Amino acid sequence: MEASAAPKTFEQILQKIEEIVNDENSKNLFDMIKECDVKATAILKQQLGNVLTGLEKLDTESSSKKASMRFFSKGSSSQIPLNTLKMKAIEDLERIARKAEYLNGTREALVGIAEEGLELVGRKKEKEDIIDQLTSVSRSRDGARRVPVIIIAGLAGIGKTKLASHVCQDREVQNHVGFPTRVICTNYNTFDADSIAKRVIDDTTNSTNRIIILDDWRLEIGDQHVKALQDKLKKAGLCLTAIIITARSCLVPRNIAASPVKLNALPALNEIESVSLFKKTLGQDKADDSSKPMLAKCYGVPQAIMTMAKWQHSPPPRSQFTELTEELIYSYYYDEVLTHLWFTYCSLFPRRYEFDAERLIHLWMAEGFLSSSNLSPEVIGRGYLRNLVERSIFQDVTEDKFGEVKSCKMHPLMHDIARFLADRENINVDLNGDKVHQHVLRASFDLSLGFDEGIPAPLNKAKQLTSILFLRADPHLDLPLKLKMSAKVLKDIFMNFKKLKVLDLRKLNIEEVPSSIEELKDLKYLDLSENVMKELPSSITKLTKLETLKLYDCKNLKKLPKDFKNLAQLKHLDLEGCLGFTDREMSKISALQTLSTFVKPRGTRNAQ
């Protein structure tokens, strides 16, 4: 029997649990949980999912209201009384309800928030650099003052706003440059010079020289915006001496040419600086050694360190409610990007994995994350990718000659958050399949664990799988063991997971692709790169929804199936490193948009 559609939203999961438990006395628990704000629902969804998973292991007839009916656990001959099962579910719901109450009400009082006046830690050099940038303003040849634009960029919580504040409190800056007015970005669509100028003019600071701090800025700024602010302040008898921009993206000022622009990208704090910030947050002389493993989970991000310090040393009953990861998510969940499936999809990959931008976009496209009536999926995907880069969620970015992202890595803290938020739908499978349940949608396998001999049996119940990825933590390094994916294992995958949209089978020493691949009617992305098969089955031409096919470096592949042109939806084909194929053969594929370069045997002539 095919599994029913998975409840996906917080509300759907809670409603399903309420239907199964069907207990009037527990109504108040459900009411408490329903009152959660959006941050709390992101955390509690995982616990509710676990409750639902436990209930779904029971025999489907267990929902009967007959007193004599009993629940049966699948795979077990034992009978579990209805009351016992209800009691276990209700106990879990009571814990979740208490956590909901804590997150919605008492958390701030117990954990507190970071102190705004806390001493700046680990930013001495950056502070000195920015002060020097502000106080050494040059003049143009005609003597007119050029307004310097200082950008402080980095991940949310890295300390941009605090650094800008400390810089502007410096006596030298105030004496020689001016006094600051902070304007927080609220309009992400239009640069409103009138509104910004009004905020500065209304500021009662007793100085005509003004520094504008554009805080958490998302809009790109050009010369016309700087001049507009300069002119409006001049009319009010004020002088704009500098603009400091705190932003997650280094690209905000890229359209400024007339003013000197100085970029300051904030790195993570090192271990010594992290411990120092931890101690100063608590007002203690030394940090407990037990705190150091937790500090490592903060990856040098000041906001995460301060959240951890407050959480760890807050009074009971804090420890009864949340884990550190949950506290970090609660601190970061204001960013709407974290709610999107194209963000959480990245949780399938190992931490610090180097993403190929084109590949990631094609994966998103296959999963249906990039739908739009006006723009192509590729254009939308590029926009989403740039969005993640601009928020510093993706770092270590390389670009092509056109300025498009070529490769990148996800910040490890953001990766941990993505894994937590996607835990019910996206899993990283272990050898025992312990995390598997019937509503898992996407699964990845670390090849170092030896999945070449087969996948864990529990995964067979996840009939709704849409993605299967076999991955190496470092794709540039070969594993010590020779992997070989047998035709039998492949056939099991093809026959058991017929809803797959994505299947990544690269570098598994595949010698034969079974003809049963035709069972994957919904498949849109197939990667068979760096395998050793000599041919593809003719049945592959029945994959009429296939959009991306990767055959990179399949050196033994001598020919493509006769009716290859029947892949009418194929948009992206990678044949780089393959031998014996001509442009003429590929030209018969009507939808093809990109075709990688490939090597032809000597003596062949270019197709006319």
Domains: count for the chain: 5
Contact 277, 302 (CB under 8 A): yes
Same domain membership, residue 577 and residue 431:
yes
Quote the pLDDT of residue 290. 67
Please tell me the distance from the alpha carbon of residue 86 to that of residue 78, in angstroms, as a whole number: 17
Kindly report the CATH number assigned to the domain that includes residue 534: 3.80.10.10
Quote the pLDDT of residue 435. 72
Same domain membership, residue 569 and residue 431:
yes
Peptide bond into 316 cis (omega under 30): no
Which DSSP letter does residue 102 get?
A: I
19-23, 271-275, 466-470 — most confident range: 466-470
The answer to the question of residue 117 being in a domain is no
Q: What is the pLDDT of residues 391-405, one digit of tens each?
A: 889 989 998 888 889
Q: What is the pLDDT of residues 582-602, one digit of tens each?
A: 556 666 777 788 887 644 444
Same domain membership, residue 102 and residue 190:
no
Residue 132's pLDDT band (cuts 50, 70, 90): very high
Quote the pLDDT of residue 284. 67
Q: What is the pLDDT of residues 501-539, one digit of tens each?
A: 999 999 988 999 999 999 999 999 999 999 999 999 999
Kindly report the CATH number assigned to the domain that includes residue 377: 1.10.10
Q: What is the pLDDT of residues 425-442, one digit of tens each?
A: 898 887 776 677 777 899
Same domain membership, residue 280 and residue 343:
no
Same domain membership, residue 217 and residue 134:
yes
130 or 71: which leads in pLDDT? 130
The answer to the question of residue 605 being in a domain is no
Same domain membership, residue 192 and residue 163:
yes
Q: Is the pLDDT of residue 10 over 90?
A: no
What count of other Cβ atoms lies within 10 Å of the Cβ of residue 215? Answer: 18
Q: Which two tokens stand for residue 383?
A: 């926009």
Quote the pLDDT of residue 198. 92
Q: Is the pLDDT of residue 224 over 90?
A: yes
The candidate with the shortest Cα–Cα distance to 490, out of 458, 536, 433, 524, is 536
The answer to the question of residue 562 being in a domain is yes
Residue 581's pLDDT band (cuts 50, 70, 90): low
The answer to the question of residue 476 being in a domain is yes
Mapping DSSP onto H, E and C, the string for 203-228 reads CCCCCCEEEEEEECCCCCCEHHHHHH
- The whole-number average pLDDT for the span 302-318 is 75
Q: Is the pLDDT of residue 556 over 70?
A: yes
Q: Is the pLDDT of residue 30 over 90?
A: no
Q: Which of 219, 254, 289 is the last residue of a domain?
A: 254
Kindly report the CATH number assigned to the domain that includes residue 212: 3.40.50.300
Q: Is the pLDDT of residue 222 over 70?
A: yes
153 or 322: which leads in pLDDT? 153
Quote the pLDDT of residue 490. 92
The answer to the question of residue 75 being in a domain is no
Quote the pLDDT of residue 3. 45
Quote the pLDDT of residue 342. 93
Domain extent for 349? 336-418
Same domain membership, residue 221 and residue 235:
yes
Q: What is the pLDDT of residues 106-126, one digit of tens each?
A: 666 555 554 555 678 999 999
Which DSSP letter does residue 105 get?
A: I
Among 79-83, 270-274, 544-548, 601-605, name the one with the lowest average pLDDT. Answer: 601-605
The answer to the question of residue 604 being in a domain is no
Contact 159, 268 (CB under 8 A): no
Quote the pLDDT of residue 421. 85
Quote the pLDDT of residue 172. 92
Q: Which of 195, 220, 254 is the last residue of a domain?
A: 254
